[in-house]
Each structure stands twice: as C-alpha cells, then as structure tokens.
Amino acid sequence: MHQGYLEINGVCTKITTFGRWVEENSKNCEDIVILIPGNPGVVGFYDEFAKTIHKNLRFPVWCIGHAGHNLPKQKLNPLPKLEGNEVLYGLKGQIEHKIDFFEKYIPKNAKIHLIGHSIGAYMILELLEHPSIKDKIADVHLLFPTFEEMALSSNGKFLTRFVKHIVWLIIWLSWIFVQLPTIIQTILLYGYMTIVGIPANQHHDNIKELINPSVLKRVFFLAFQEMEQVKDRNNDIIRRNISKLKFYYGENDGWTPPQFREQLKVDIPNTDIEISNYNHAFVLKRSVEVGDIVSVSILADAI
C-alpha cells in the first residue's frame, strides 16, 4: 500500500494505492481499478476493501479521497478554508475534482474499472459523460448507490429534519474532543468502537480523522448539498451506458429504500442488479466480503 497527497483541482488530496503508485509510469496497456468513496470520503475507511480487490485481481487499485476530507500532514500544503471556497467542496466541486484527477493521472492506454460507493455512484454517472474519460471506462460497479431523491430516504429525512439543526453542537463537541489528551481520545474511541462492534485496529485512525472539526464541516457541507441536488435519477446516462453498469443494493438500506431499486427495474428493465444483506456502511465491518463480490464481477468483465 502506498499513501500520499497530490494537488487535485486546487486541493491537497489523499490518494491510497495498492499496486503501483499513480505517478509511476507504465508503458503497458493495463487494467486499473479506481474507487470513488461515499461521504465521508476519508479513504482509510476503504483500505481493507481495496486491498481485497487488489489481492484477488492483482490489478492496481487507486482510491481517491474527496476534496477536504483528509487533512494533509504537510503544513506547507494547508487545505483552502471552507468559507469562501465552497465551490471546491460541494457536490459539483467534488465531481470536478475527480475529473481533474483522471485528466492528470490516468494513463491514455489504461482500461478503467470504476467503483463508486453511495454518493460516489452519482459522481461516476457524471464522469461517464465526460469526453476525456468515458472511452477509458470498461465497467462500472455502483455500491449502495445514492443517485436519486436522497432527501426522501429515511436517512435523508433524519439528516435534514434533525441533524441539520444540531450540526453546530456536533462541530463544537468535535472541537472539545480534539483538545483532549491523546490518551483520553484513544480510550474514548476504543470504548465506542468496542460497543458498536467496529474493528478498532482498522478504523481508529479513520474515525479520529473524521472527528476533526474542519473535516466534519466539509463532510456536512457536502451532505446537505446532496440532499438539495440529488433529485431525479438520470435515466438517460444509465441507458446510454447500461452495458457497463452493475448495481449492488442492500436488502435494507436507509439511503436506498427497496422502492428505488424496484422502480429502477421497471424504468430500465435490463439493469444488472445484485441484492445482498450487507449494510450501506459495509466498509466498517464487511470490506472483505463485499470486496470478494465486486472482484468476481470485475474479473468477469475483464476476461
């Protein structure tokens, strides 16, 4: 695994790779798996998932963090503040961010296998229409995709009707948390993760990074834009790219209720849909299992 920061669309962004690093040259026509996360876009949450796919396929796997969702360690490359730079961190800005990554770092002769989780699926549908990107994409795997009517889902209603009104309190509590001695932070995090059953050895650092107030502000800013902007499903893009697309839904998902996927089947009957019992936030506990499922699909498309 290689981790590093690159400037993408004006924001110092964390990239994690399994296989070769993005700046290493390759003269061969190669398969590359690109992962675009959900929200939060803290790429460390996806390490085990990406590692599983790389282990199964031996393709390079590149994970792109969302702009502003990972804090660079280098003090010489601070993130632009949210205030006054909203265009960089909103939904459209995150799509431009991914386009800039593709144009700068994806080799011309690469065969791209795209994976998008949650809002990452919405971003990928937009990438499929971009002239400099679309011809490189071999297949697309959309995990628990949130590309329609997010505010109408049960989680969306909870976010807009309740969480939105106490964001100030959440940010304030996160500020209090980061002021605590490191040992106290660690005890609190390990206690919480033990209670909810999240593997502490995998996600302690990721959750700690997410709790940073400046990261949380950007995460919530993107989330509320999702509620406002993700409305009608773009059936035209799906139909034009139907041969490349596979959809993975959870049986019970607070962000993608069953009626969404059932209506998708009605509107576009030849849609390739797989349903599982895994949760929307699969990266917390079921990265290996979902990674194995996606690997099989990618391999079938690559042959």
What three-state secondary structure class fits 8? strand
User: Where do the domains of the chain lie?
Assistant: 2-149+232-302
Give the whole-angstrom CA distance, residue 216 versus residue 68.
9
- Say what percent of the chain tops pLDDT 90: 86
Per the CB < 8 A criterion, the answer to whether 147 and 234 are in contact is yes
Confidence of residue 77 (pLDDT cuts 50, 70, 90): confident
Residue 243 exposure: Cα atoms within 13 Å on the Cβ side: 3
The pLDDT of residue 135:
87
Tokens of 261: 């996927």
CA dihedral 124, 233, 118, 246 (to 10 degrees): -70
8, β-bridge pairs: 11
165 noted as active-site residue: no
97 noted as active-site residue: no
CA dihedral 140, 145, 148, 151 (to 10 degrees): -160
Candidates 118, 153, 174, 295; catalytic one = 118
Confidence of residue 25 (pLDDT cuts 50, 70, 90): confident
Rounded to an integer, the average pLDDT of 227-235 is 96
The DSSP letter of residue 249 is: E
- Checking if the pLDDT of 48 tops 90, the result is yes
The pLDDT of residue 97:
97
Per the CB < 8 A criterion, the answer to whether 37 and 206 are in contact is no
**Cβ neighbours of residue 232 under 8 Å, at least 6 residues apart?**
148, 149
Which of 40, 29, 95 is closest to 223 using CA atoms?
Answer: 40
Confidence of residue 201 (pLDDT cuts 50, 70, 90): confident
Confidence of residue 303 (pLDDT cuts 50, 70, 90): low
Rounded to an integer, the average pLDDT of 117-125 is 97
Query: pLDDT for 160-189, tens place per residue?
Result: 999 999 999 999 999 999 999 999 999 999
Give the whole-angstrom CA distance, residue 35 versus residue 113.
9
The pLDDT of residue 27:
66
Give the whole-angstrom CA distance, residue 242 versus residue 250.
20
Name the average pLDDT for the chain. 93
Candidates 117, 253, 287, 295; catalytic one = 253
Rounded to an integer, the average pLDDT of 215-232 is 97
- Checking if the pLDDT of 11 tops 90, the result is yes
The pLDDT of residue 300:
81
Which of 60, 53, 62 is closest to 14 using CA atoms?
Answer: 62
Cis peptide before 258 (omega within 30 of 0): no
Query: pLDDT for 132-167, tens place per residue?
Result: 888 899 999 999 999 999 999 999 999 999 999 999
Per the CB < 8 A criterion, the answer to whether 81 and 228 are in contact is no
The secondary structure of 96-130, three-state, reads HHHHHHHHHHCCCCCEEEEEEECHHHHHHHHHCCC
31 noted as active-site residue: no
Helix (H) or strand (E) holding 87: helix 86-89
Which of 81, 75, 228 is closest to 151 using CA atoms?
Answer: 228
CATH code given to domain 2-149+232-302:
3.40.50.1820
In angstroms, the Cα distances linking 124 to 62, 80, 128 are 15, 25, 6
Candidates 66, 141, 203, 280; catalytic one = 280
Rounded to an integer, the average pLDDT of 50-56 is 97
The pLDDT of residue 129:
87
